[in-house]
Amino acid sequence: MNYTLIRMNEVFPHDSDVAKWIVGLAIIHNDFVFLKRKLFKTSDDISDWIFETTSVLKIFTASLREAIFYLEESEKLEEVRVYINSLPRYMIQKYEILKKLFRTGEKAELLQRLSNTRNITYHYTKPQRKELSEALEASSNEILAYEENNQKFLFAEHIKNTI
């Protein structure tokens, strides 16, 4: 492997909005690389696959939502806006695609769907809310396997996915 030594205070000065922005993007990038690897590295056991895949997608959805908010909030910093505008045209075009997902963008409804999914899967819908009743009703005629030795409740994953 080739390593490059980075003198942090020279490359990422603590008082630079652009440096902080780039480090934030790198953190987001690392999370997505991890999630991509985890998503494509699944067990041969179908119950593991169901459990892991839906959990990784849940984390991916929340991470994507937060990444969009990160980019949107970053535009409030003039130094970051100037930096973005100085990037090569092909990068700006890719960035413009993401800007469509901002709260004021033409695809803001997708951001809202990501937010709804995140809210349901991270806040764990409460028993008195309608989501659980509706999901149970929608699944009422289904038959799901239950394995006592397994530490996972596949029926719960099914209901979560139905919600």
Residue 88: phi, psi to the nearest 5?
-60, 150
Please state at what angle helix 89-99 crosses helix 46-74, rounded to 10 degrees.
110
**113 and 131 co-located in one domain:** no
Neighbours of 130 (CB within 10 A): 9
64 Cα distance to chain centroid = 3
Residue 5 has pLDDT above 70, yes or no: yes
Taking a C-beta distance cutoff of 8 angstroms, is the pair 122, 154 a contact?
A: no
Predicted local confidence at residue 144, as pLDDT: 77
Say whether pLDDT at 63 is over 80: yes
Q: What is the pLDDT of residues 107-158, one digit of tens each?
A: 999 999 988 888 877 777 777 878 888 988 998 898 877 777 766 777 887 7
- The single residue listed with the structure tokens 């919600």 is 163
Its domain, for residue 38, covers 8-123
Residues 88 and 55 in one domain: yes
Within a domain: residue 3? no
Same domain, 80 and 13: yes
Q: What is the pLDDT of residue 18?
A: 95
- DSSP type of residue 36: H
Res 77: pLDDT: 96
Q: What is the pLDDT of residues 21-55, one digit of tens each?
A: 999 999 999 999 988 888 777 667 776 777 777 78
- Could you tell me if 76 and 154 lie in one domain? no
Question: What local confidence, expressed as pLDDT, does residue 124 receive?
Answer: 73
Q: Which of residues 60 and 128 earns the better pLDDT score?
A: 60
**Is position 1 within any domain?**
no
**Same domain, yes or no: 101 and 40:** yes
